[in-house]
Amino acid sequence: MADDWKESSEQPAERPDPSTATSIAGGDEPWARDVLSRLVFANLAEQRRSRRWGIFFKFLLFAYLTALISLLIPGDWRPGDWRPGATKDSRHTAYVRLEGIIAPGAKANADNIIEGVTNAFEHAETAAVVLRINSPGGSPVQSDTIYNALRRLRAEYPDTPLYAVIEDVGASGAYYVAVGADEIYANRSSVVGSIGVRSGGFGFPKAIEELGIERRLYTAGDNKAILDPFLPERPADVAHLQTLLNAIHTHFIDAVKAGRGERIDPDSSEIFSGLFWTGDEAQALGLIDGISDIRDLAREQIGVETLVDFTPSEDVLSRLSEQLGVALSSALQRLGWSTQVLP
């Protein structure tokens, strides 16, 4: 019995049937075809992914080198606008962008806007200067400073016209700036006007009383705590604030009357009420001179279609970050990716 077991165990293992191996290799079985398909598509996907990452890093390197080279080239060698044909060496229509809130430290601050407009006027090849406005307003002091600078430059360069073009919004302090131009244009759907002044806040005296909060405030000066939101409102404080707002509003009205002249009704209570209108309505009220955009204005009114941007550039690091950001975004879009900015 032991010999029988030994004889049986020494027998060679059974070899697989060649026809069966051929069948699997040839993919005759459904599961074999599925495995082979998965392997092929996985390999193709991996190759595609590797190519995409290669393109991405090449774009990133190219963007870095381009930004670095542009920063090393002297500023006078670079045109103010990189679009074809738009150089400062030929006759052009110069423009400066006023975008966002008008405030110290903001992009649309008085120093930036005045610098750009001054450079535009000073250039020998400038046919006209256009202030491209897309702003809801902001600081009355900054707006008045820009307004006064525009009037001074107009007097200093009488042969170079100054236009204001309102895009989406030219309201409040932004319209204050616009009336410093010779003429104002807007889109028929632009928001124009809001000739007024406002001040707002909140009051919490009842809230802190209900919560059992003890207010501790120490001042030197009887009115140092005027309009404190945690103290009850006093009529005298409100009257003082209203006087202040009325004075600033008067400055605004005077600027509009000086800038628009006979094109508006100087006795209109509606125009100076703080209301705002569409471009069509603003034209009927004399707040703007016509319906147009910067391209039509340059072509039809100025007669020089080449546009050059004289808006002051940001500092070196900001420009580098912006250029790298644009290049990176373009690379991601080429790769089929998208980004979202969520609130």
255: closest CA among 167, 153, 174, 134?
Answer: 174
55: confidence class by pLDDT, cuts 50, 70, 90: confident
Domains assigned to the chain: 15-80+314-343 (no CATH), 81-196+235-309 (3.90.226.10)
Task: Say whether pLDDT at 9 is over 60.
Answer: no
Per the CB < 8 A criterion, the answer to whether 94 and 128 are in contact is: yes
Mean pLDDT, the chain, rounded, equals 80
51: confidence class by pLDDT, cuts 50, 70, 90: confident
Tell me how far apart the alpha carbons of residues 180 and 197 are, in angstroms, rounded to a whole number.
18
Helix axes of 30-72 and 316-334: crossing angle, nearest 10 degrees = 160
pLDDT value, residue 59: 72
Q: Which of 22-26, 70-74, 259-263, 292-296 has the lowest mean pLDDT?
A: 22-26
Q: Which of 2-6, 85-89, 148-152, 230-234 has the lowest mean pLDDT?
A: 2-6
Tell me how far apart the alpha carbons of residues 95 and 86 are, in angstroms, rounded to a whole number.
12
pLDDT value, residue 70: 58
pLDDT value, residue 269: 87
Burial of 267 per CB tally in 10 Å (0-12, 13-18, 19+): exposed
Percent of all residues in the chain with a pLDDT value above 90, rounded to a whole number: 52
pLDDT value, residue 151: 97
Task: Enumerate the β-bridge partners of residue 169.
Answer: 191
Task: Say whether pLDDT at 200 is over 80.
Answer: yes
First to last CA, the chain: 85
96: closest CA among 111, 78, 114?
Answer: 114
Which tops the pLDDT comparison, 123 or 64?
123
79: confidence class by pLDDT, cuts 50, 70, 90: very low
126: confidence class by pLDDT, cuts 50, 70, 90: very high
Q: Which of 45-49, 169-173, 201-205 has the lowest mean pLDDT?
A: 45-49
User: What does residue 226 show for φ and ψ, rounded to 5 degrees?
Assistant: -60, 135
**Encoded tokens for 336:** 């089929």
**Encoded tokens for 162:** 């100054």
Q: Which of 8-12, 90-94, 244-248 has the lowest mean pLDDT?
A: 8-12
Residue burial 164-195, b: 16+ Cβ < 10 Å; e: rest: bbbbebbbbbbbbbbbbbebbbbbeebbbbbb
Which tops the pLDDT comparison, 17 or 271?
271
CA 56 to chain centre: 26
Tell me how far apart the alpha carbons of residues 323 and 67 are, in angstroms, rounded to a whole number.
6
User: Per-residue pLDDT averaged across 106-128, rounded?
Assistant: 95
Which tops the pLDDT comparison, 52 or 199?
199
pLDDT digits (tens, 9 = 90+) for 141-152: 999 999 999 999
Which tops the pLDDT comparison, 283 or 36?
283
pLDDT value, residue 75: 45
pLDDT digits (tens, 9 = 90+) for 298-343: 999 999 999 999 999 765 455 555 555 555 555 555 544 433 333 3
Percent of all residues in the chain with a pLDDT value above 70, rounded to a whole number: 73
Task: Say whether pLDDT at 61 is over 90.
Answer: no
pLDDT digits (tens, 9 = 90+) for 233-284: 889 989 999 999 999 999 999 999 999 999 999 988 899 999 999 999 999 9
74: confidence class by pLDDT, cuts 50, 70, 90: very low
CA 173-177-182 angle, to 5 degrees, is: 150
Element (H, E) at 94: strand 92-99
